[in-house]
Amino acid sequence: MIVADRQDLAGRLSDVDDRFAQVDTPLDRLEVGQAEMRDVLTRIAATIGA
């Protein structure tokens, strides 16, 4: 389970890097990063049952 989650997270981080490459301004990058962080925190909370 943890290994699969780590692999999934690594794939998602790669996707974020790709999206960062597609945006032009720091504000756009911040928005992409915030959306990803919300998603990651939601998944962590669901995993630990919070």
The per-residue pLDDT for range 6-18, each reduced to its tens digit, is: 777 777 777 777 7
Report the pLDDT value the prediction gives residue 30, as an integer from 0 to 100: 84
Model pTM? 0.51
Report the C-alpha gap between 44 and 38 in whole angstroms. 10
pLDDT per position as a tens digit, 1-50:
556 677 777 777 777 777 777 777 888 878 888 888 888 888 888 888 85
Report the pLDDT value the prediction gives residue 32, as an integer from 0 to 100: 81
Report the pLDDT value the prediction gives residue 22, as an integer from 0 to 100: 79
Domain boundaries, the chain: 24-50
Look at phi and psi of residue 30 and say left if phi exceeds 0, alpha if psi is from -120 to 50, else beta.
alpha
Token pair 């919300």 is found at: 38
